[in-house]
């Protein structure tokens, strides 16, 4: 079983030898205000057991059948991470089963790589707090090394902020995508530095445009520039690493427009692009369970006292099993 609670979603997933048996979640209602970590954590703690139980029911199994537990140890919001950590440690102790802390970003990437059946792809990881281009590296241990990344905020957070600023409801990237469907292009900043990129320039500019330009035009143009920046950096990394496979994961991988742009790259260079379903791209417990299962199968062992959280846990610090 895997527990995810790094941000707005509390998720519990159950996997068995790489197959997802259950993937239940409850999401903090975001409204037009965004998230206050303490409030979200409170919400999670009141829903956690319900979600765990729903996952067991869905998988048609009992707690006593669970062989190992894993939880998201970071990156994420401290109070939220703590809820998942606490539940997992409690379950590990009462059931006397092994426990594994999992890096949230690695979980997103690994579930995509697993289902897209890719061995050593170039990875475009796009989520709320993070946006990175990575590739597996064996030195000094097996991990995702960062080839390029955002120099400031994640693309998802940028879209969420924009939604909030424009008063869209829910204040979410998906609302930006919806508004963008009716938009036309206005000039926006575009910042790519080699394989790195930056999103605050676009956000500041778009915020200044609010009230002057139509919201749908702002949404459309922000998406066009932000996603094209990601595509350009990815394309550069593709050439550099000679990759013919791109694994795209994280919440923003649900974006239709981003998928269209990547399909264009795929047509131009003959690269294969791997995705998972939206349900598995959004924050979820199954991805944590999948990585946890791999870890425990390869003999990973941790004492309860080693099961900490790290709000700033970097993707490239996590060992990949």
Partner 1 sequence: MTLRLISEGAESKIYADDSFGVPLIVKARERKGYRIEGLDESIRRGRTRKEAKAMCKARESGANVPGIIAVGRFSIFMERKRGKMLKDVRFGNKEMRAAGAQLAKLHAAGIAHGDFTPANIMLCSNGPCIMDFGLAGIGGGDEEKAIDLLLMKRSVEKPQFSSFIKGYSAYANHKPVLKKLADIERRGRYKARTLQTV
Contact flag: residue 194 with partner 1 (CB under 8 A): yes
> Can residue 241 be called a binding residue for partner 1 (CB under 8 A)?
yes
| Structure tokens belonging to residue 81 | 């991470």
CA torsion, points 306, 108, 83, 129, in degrees to nearest 10? 100
For partner 1, which residue of 240, 302, 310, 321 counts as binding (CB under 8 A)?
A: 240
Q: What residues does 12 pair with on adjacent strands?
A: 3, 24
Which of 50, 185, 278, 279 binds partner 1 (CB under 8 A)? It is: 185
Using CB under 8 A as the binding rule, whether residue 210 contacts partner 1 is answered as no
Residues 256-295 that bind partner 1 (CB under 8 A): 260-262, 264-265, 267-268
Q: Say how many residues make up the chain.
A: 321
Shortest distance, CB of residue 304 to partner 1, whole angstroms? 28
Query: How far apart, in whole angstroms, are the C-alpha atoms of residue 262 and residue 11?
Result: 29
| DSSP 3-state of 257 | helix
Of the candidates 21, 34, 190, 321, which one interacts with partner 1 according to CB under 8 A?
Answer: 190
Residue-by-residue DSSP string for 277-319: -HHHHSS-HHHHHHHHHHHHHTT----GGG----TT--GGGS-
Cα angle, residue 249 at apex, residues 43 and 100 outer, rounded to 5°: 60
Nearer of residues 42 and 216 to partner 1, judged by Cβ: 216
By CB under 8 A, what part of segment 219-238 binds partner 1? 224-225, 227-228, 231-232, 235-236, 238
Residues that bind partner 1 (CB under 8 A): 137, 145-147, 149, 185, 187, 190, 193-194, 224-225, 227-228, 231-232, 235-236, 238-241, 260-262, 264-265, 267-268, 314, 316-317
């Amino acid at each position: 079983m895997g527990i995810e609670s790094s941000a707005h979603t509390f998720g519990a997933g159950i996997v068995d030898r790489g197959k997802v048996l259950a993937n239940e979640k409850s999401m903090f209602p975001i409204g037009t205000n965004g998230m206050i970590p303490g409030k979200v954590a409170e919400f999670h703690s009141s829903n956690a057991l319900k979600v765990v139980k729903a996952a067991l029911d869905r998988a048609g199994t009992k707690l006593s059948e669970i062989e190992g537990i894993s939880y998201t140890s970071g990156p994420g919001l401290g109070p939220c991470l703590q809820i998942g950590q606490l539940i997992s440690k409690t379950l590990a102790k009462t059931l006397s089963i092994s426990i594994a802390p999992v890096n949230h970003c690695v979980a997103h990437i690994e579930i995509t790589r697993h289902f897209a059946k890719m061995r050593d792809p170039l990875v475009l990881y796009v989520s709320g707090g993070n946006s990175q281009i990575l590739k597996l590296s064996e030195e000094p241990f097996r991990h995702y090394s960062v080839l390029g990344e955002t120099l400031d905020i994640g693309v998802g957070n940028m879209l969420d902020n924009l939604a909030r600023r424009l008063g869209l409801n829910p204040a979410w990237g998906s609302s930006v995508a919806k508004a963008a469907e009716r938009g036309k292009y206005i000039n926006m900043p575009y910042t790519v530095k080699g394989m790195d990129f930056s999103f605050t320039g676009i956000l500041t500019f778009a915020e200044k445009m609010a009230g002057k330009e139509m919201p749908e035009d702002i949404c459309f143009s922000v998406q066009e520039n932000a996603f094209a920046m990601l595509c350009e950096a990815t394309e550069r990394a593709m050439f550099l690493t000679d990759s013919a496979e791109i694994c795209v994961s994280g919440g923003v991988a649900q974006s239709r427009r981003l998928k269209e742009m990547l399909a264009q790259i795929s047509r131009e260079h003959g690269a294969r692009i791997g995705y998972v379903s939206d349900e598995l791209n959004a924050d979820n417990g199954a991805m944590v369970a999948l990585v946890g299962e791999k870890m425990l199968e390869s003999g990973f062992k941790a004492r309860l006292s080693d099961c900490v959280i790290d709000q700033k846990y970097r993707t490239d610090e996590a060992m990949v099993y």
